[in-house]
Structure 1
Amino acid sequence: MGSTSCGTACAWQRVAMATRTVFLVCYFGIIFPEVRTVFEKPSKDPLEKEFISTTDAETSMARFGHLYRANYVYEMRELEYASVLQIGSLKNHYLFRHKSHPRRSRRSAIHITKRLSDDERVSWAEQQYEKKRTKRAMVRDSAENLFNDPMWNQQWYLQDTRMTPSLPKLDLHVIPVWQKGITGKGVVITVLDDGLEWNHTDIYANYDPQASYDFNDNDHDPFPRYDPTNENKHGTRCAGEIAMQANNRKCGVGVAYNSKVGGIRMLDGIVTDAIEASSIGFNPDHVDIYSASWGPNDDGKTVEGPGRLAQKAFEYGITEGRNGKGSIFVWASGNGGRQGDNCDCDGYTDSIYTISISSASQQGLSPWYAEKCSSTLATAYSSGDYTDQRITSADLHNECTETHTGTSASAPLAAGIFALALEANPDLTWRDMQHLVVWTSEYDPLAGNPGWKKNGAGLMVNSRFGFGLLNANALVDLADPKKWKGVPEKRECIVKDKSFEPRLLRANEEVIIEIPTKACEGQENSIASLEHVQLEATIEYSRRGDLHVTLVSPSGTSTVLLAERERDKSPNGFKNWDFMSVHTWGENPAGTWVLRITDVSRRIQNEGRIVNWKLILHGTATQPEHMKQPRVYTSYNAVQNDRRGVEKMTDFVEDHTTQENLSERPKLAEDASSSSDQAEDKIPSEAMLHLLRSAFSRQMAQKRLPKKTGSEKLNIPYEHFYQALEKLNKASQLRDSEESLYSDYVDLFYNAKPYKHRDDRLLQALVDIINEGN
């Protein structure tokens, strides 16, 4: 590339629109008599008359050099050059673009350069060439030295810890936000938990007593009760994730390390509805964000939500908190996965007022403890298998920890990210924040997990992860007051059938209820763009845990509102329970909804009835401004690697067809061997073509050799290998089918590679066979 002719300005850019060669021409040292000879003008021009009559060459250039240059530039533009530009503030230095020399020509234009240099009016001329420059972004080498806190380098979820950009990016993209000077200043977060060790060296500087209270002992000091087992460490750990001080040589760094943090001690004793309400509603005009990593028992058999007082506290918070903009409530989705629990039975995470946060492991997988539900809005990182790293934070007794786990650790990370957004735009409402989360969360880093679907508004969503992994930089960028227009006023439309009669339900049967609606069209509460959907229902049943409830929207989006829970043997059913979903966010609710309630347990003694129901639609009369263009999903790895110059690859697996059968895709590579032009139409890059020819061909896999294209070696960047593998991995039928070439590939290489993570092993195997071929 070093010999390629330039196409724009001084530095060549491949994205420019210009199509001609560029030359830099300088005019210093030109003598007057030569100028006079070339640019003599009719005597009627008074300026030219004065110019000609001057006898002192130095004075002439000082007084009339602008006229000389103007005439010369005019002549150049009229003859064979275009787009004449001055070089910054350099006097007498101009950039010319020759009309006849193609931008992409690899030969230099020596003859043009010589002609310019030989011109008696030109002191110096040279052709411009591309210069390789790299952005000095905070990648691993610089990020690891960004702070002097001893555990900073263990905070893998906040910095890019990859040794090579070809590996999957894990962090929450927080560093670019810090680079903009946004660190949580002026934002107050309180942690509702078992207390806060506020004199901890890594917390004290950011401690806010006005955001703190002890409702267990009814005093203003939230300091935790010490015991031999350190049982009350939870709140301090959660607070540390948010607001650990930076560069103080202690523990690690908080996501919003310049925010203010308080603690509400309310879990170390008897918890009542009054205590919960007091905690949720504490000082709402001072506290911006409430972070809660608790809820009803995650035992797989409990159904419980906020009491009457706590519910009123939520409602007061979103209407009156933050001076009317609404308090931000962040809730951990629950850790009952191993018990088969479902967070749709947790009324705190199932509330329209909370931002429910799930977890993903270091491997980008759903952890063993995570719960599935339709109310989860997004995901942050946390612990996973025993080999995975965990979360770093402050700990009791002025200690540090690297073992914080569960969705308890994910919610504070999210709260910290939201604090960054509020610093960038303090006017965000509670609904603005939810929209920002929905619109900027990333599906791609978690795409290898089952359960992804595209809803009727084009948004990818999953009951394990909500709308995906939080991307702090994207969220803060969109929240910029110069970009963010705010969302329209919230409306609520209630749909019910007054003539509905209770319906009987037995084992192995299904009750189907069709719900036609115009979404309150023609009324003041009409809705055209959905946010939350609630099904309020009373269901009597002999074994509650055997029920399965599904709601299908008019756009065809199928949402599981309740999954079976084997441990839930209760005969109490559900009494006016609100099943809530965010999976139809952005859809138009007008049309026919279909409610399906089933029991597939084969327990023939089970029976009950659907007593009543109503559908509550929450949304707006018009589409929010940011949703008027479709959401575009890009490879998370490619987006983050872009600052290193990694070329983006086009998906050949479309987002809305993750179930597409790609078992015949490798045949494209075989076809391509006879027609490269045809292959280009079917496969978007040579890297992908080469990948399919080698790694995903049974014959090639057995030989462990790729097919070469003649004698030419393919120097393909490693980034392409991972992205191509990633796209194929997303296709579930390709991955799971017995006939899959992907399965053959895994069988051959996976077990033989001593790498920690599965994706790393697959990547390394792919790199190996490419290298063998080259």
Structure 2
Amino acid sequence: LRIDDPRPKDTFGTGPDGDNHGTACAGVACANGIHGASGVAPKAKLIPIRLASGLGSLQEAEAFRWAADNGADVISCSWGPPDGDWWDKNDPTHRQKVALPASTRLAMDYATQKGRSGKGCVILFAAGNGNESVDNDGYASYEKIIAVTACNDRGTRSVYSDFGKAAWCAFPSNDFGYPPFNHPDPLTNGIWTTDRMGKAGYNPDEQGHTAGDSAFSYTNSFGGTSSSCPGAAGVAALVLSVNPGLKWLEVKELFKQACEKIDPQEGKYDSQGHSPKYGYGRLNARTAVELAKPKPKSEIIINRRFDAPIPDMQTVSFSLEIAETTPVESLTVSVDIQHTYIGDLVISLLPPAETGISTVTLYSRTGGATKNLKQTFDAITTPALSKFSGKQCNGVWALQIEDVAAQDFGTLVSFGLNLSFPHVDQILFSPNTKKSGTTPHAAKVKSPNKKPK
């Protein structure tokens, strides 16, 4: 809530009608699933911001800064300039362009630069419900946000959803049939989400019919890009829950990779995989989470300089510790020894006991009077090293050096291990795979459920 909100304790939905919209949006993003609804990210924490000013106000800019300064990871905005009537192609509103105010743009920049300790807040905007170009909307088309369009349960565009170059992804929402556009009925009409308690919210509907649960705490008729935006914001929260180190732009690019190409005939995807109706496709939450998981290291190289003496006729050991628990694919050992007669030396690798592998002899009195030994041992030169393939190699590794003949001595300059891991392809759960945020109210929200009389 805003710091200067006159009703900061109103958490029971007893406020004015404008609370209907934010309550429903919040539920789509992160309803906790304990009672009657579950959002996309049910364990995310909600930071609701009541913003009741006009477009371009200083309060609007302040809201983004406040969110960034108060721990918001994802900012979901189901608001924006007024939409034209989606069913009326001649509505002049369709051609109106609304610029993003400089104060708001700077505040968005601040959130993407300073939020999340410099990694940037992920900002999403509803594309709009006017069946018009989102590119005319300076808010939703700003390059540092994610514009979300709406699709239905048939895998096609919701009849009202905006479209354009700025569309980044689509997310399921409501829809309804409209014969003049040859648009069929969806399989389900609305999105089930949280509602204001009692009869003040969307349930019951305007005709007094039950539109959700019988206790009037949830609605089954929410929709529009106002619903698809917090749905995608919930996915962003899931992504950051498994990889909080991602920067905002990395999340945006990850969404691009996590989209399914729906409606291939009418989607008009270009050579870059972008559709004006669906952006890069319908966002798949599971794919996004899998892509976000930190990748296992492909290689670990540990090399330590010792500059330690190898006394004549003595045995010395030097150790390295490995913390990585991923099973290795291959292991190599590097040594750099300065010695006056390397034929005196027997060099062995002592692995951690947990590997179940005994001492591996790397070098045994070859080389004669040659001075110095700088060599890397692998499974080809030392077949016994192949035994470590598939083993977890965490623990203490020791290099043992024995000087078994008199008169000569030397120095261990360095000892290193190189562990390589198998490449793990990310599992994508779509055959077509190539908020917990805020819901401020800054402008009139036009319902996509409105039909022509």
Q: What TM bracket, shorter-length normalisation?
A: 0.5 to 0.7
CA distance in 1, matches of 2:36, 2:265: 33
1:394 corresponds to:
194
1:332 corresponds to:
126
| 1:222–1:263 contact (8 Å) kept in structure 2 | no
3-state SS, counterpart of residue 454 of structure 1: coil
Q: Does 1:446 align with 2:260?
A: no
Q: Against the structure 1 CA distance between its residues 335 and 318, is the aligned structure 2 distance closer, same or farther, given a 3 Å change threshold?
A: same
| Equivalent AA in structure 2 for residue 451 of structure 1 | K
1:262 deviates by 1.7
| Equivalent AA in structure 2 for residue 346 of structure 1 | D
Q: Does 1:434 align with 2:290?
A: no
1:241 deviates by 0.9
3-state SS, counterpart of residue 334 of structure 1: coil
3-state SS, counterpart of residue 49 of structure 2: strand
1:270 deviates by 4.4
Spell out, residue by residue over 1:410-437, the C-alpha distance to the aligned partner (whole angstroms, 9 max, x if none). 0011011110100000001011001101
CA distance in 1, matches of 2:267, 2:67: 42
| 1:214–1:264 contact (8 Å) kept in structure 2 | no
CA distance in 1, matches of 2:263, 2:251: 22
CA RMSD of aligned residues (A): 2.7
1:635 corresponds to:
431
| Equivalent AA in structure 2 for residue 472 of structure 1 | A
| 1:446–1:469 contact (8 Å) kept in structure 2 | no
Q: Does 1:342 align with 2:159?
A: no
1:481 deviates by 1.6
1:468 corresponds to:
281
2:291 corresponds to:
478
Q: After superposition, where does 1:559-598 map in structure 2 within 5 Å?
A: none
220, 224, 239: which one aligns with 1:421: 239
CA distance in 1, matches of 2:297, 2:236: 15
Q: Does 1:284 align with 2:68?
A: yes
| 2:254–2:291 contact (8 Å) kept in structure 1 | yes
43, 50, 73: which one aligns with 1:258: 43
| 1:366–1:449 contact (8 Å) kept in structure 2 | no
1:219 deviates by 6.3
1:450 deviates by 3.7
Larger-gyration structure (1/2): 1
Runs of 4+ aligned structure 1 residues displaced above 6 Å come to none
| 2:111–2:120 contact (8 Å) kept in structure 1 | yes
CA distance in 2, matches of 1:394, 1:376: 27
Spell out, residue by residue over 1:666-714, the C-alpha distance to the aligned partner (whole angstroms, 9 max, x if none). xxxxxxxxxxxxxxxxxxxxxxxxxxxxxxxxxxxxxxxxxxxxxxxxx
Equivalent residues, number: 269
Q: Against the structure 1 CA distance between its residues 391 and 448, is the aligned structure 2 distance closer, same or farther, given a 3 Å change threshold?
A: farther
167, 171, 176: which one aligns with 1:376: 167
1:474 deviates by 1.4
Q: Against the structure 1 CA distance between its residues 287 and 222, is the aligned structure 2 distance closer, same or farther, given a 3 Å change threshold?
A: farther
1:448 deviates by 3.9
3-state SS, counterpart of residue 370 of structure 1: coil
| 2:192–2:220 contact (8 Å) kept in structure 1 | yes
Structure number with the bigger relative contact order (C-alpha 8 A, sep ≥ 6) is 2
3-state SS, counterpart of residue 231 of structure 2: helix
3-state SS, counterpart of residue 356 of structure 1: strand
| 1:335–1:369 contact (8 Å) kept in structure 2 | yes
Q: Against the structure 1 CA distance between its residues 483 and 410, is the aligned structure 2 distance closer, same or farther, given a 3 Å change threshold?
A: farther
1:271 deviates by 4.9
Spell out, residue by residue over 1:208-241, the C-alpha distance to the aligned partner (whole angstroms, 9 max, x if none). xxxx3266x46644656634xx343000000011
1:359 corresponds to:
150
1:484 deviates by 10
Q: Against the structure 1 CA distance between its residues 213 and 364, is the aligned structure 2 distance closer, same or farther, given a 3 Å change threshold?
A: same
Q: After superposition, where does 1:490-509 map in structure 2 within 5 Å?
A: none
Q: After superposition, where does 1:55-70 map in structure 2 within 5 Å?
A: none
3-state SS, counterpart of residue 260 of structure 1: coil
Spell out, residue by residue over 1:347-391, the C-alpha distance to the aligned partner (whole angstroms, 9 max, x if none). 111111101111101111111111111011111000111543211
| Equivalent AA in structure 1 for residue 124 of structure 2 | V
3-state SS, counterpart of residue 48 of structure 2: strand
Q: Which runs of 5+ in 1 are unaligned?
A: 1-211, 486-628, 640-654, 656-774
Q: After superposition, where does 1:205-244 map in structure 2 within 5 Å?
A: 212-213=1-2, 217=5, 220-221=8-9, 226-227=15-16, 230-244=17-31
Q: Which runs of 5+ in 2 are unaligned?
A: 85-93, 178-184, 199-216, 299-424, 435-453
| Equivalent AA in structure 1 for residue 100 of structure 2 | P
Q: Does 1:307 align with 2:107?
A: no
| 1:360–1:379 contact (8 Å) kept in structure 2 | yes
Spell out, residue by residue over 1:169-199, the C-alpha distance to the aligned partner (whole angstroms, 9 max, x if none). xxxxxxxxxxxxxxxxxxxxxxxxxxxxxxx
| 1:214–1:221 contact (8 Å) kept in structure 2 | no
3-state SS, counterpart of residue 283 of structure 2: coil
| Equivalent AA in structure 2 for residue 282 of structure 1 | W
Spell out, residue by residue over 1:716-772, the C-alpha distance to the aligned partner (whole angstroms, 9 max, x if none). xxxxxxxxxxxxxxxxxxxxxxxxxxxxxxxxxxxxxxxxxxxxxxxxxxxxxxxxx
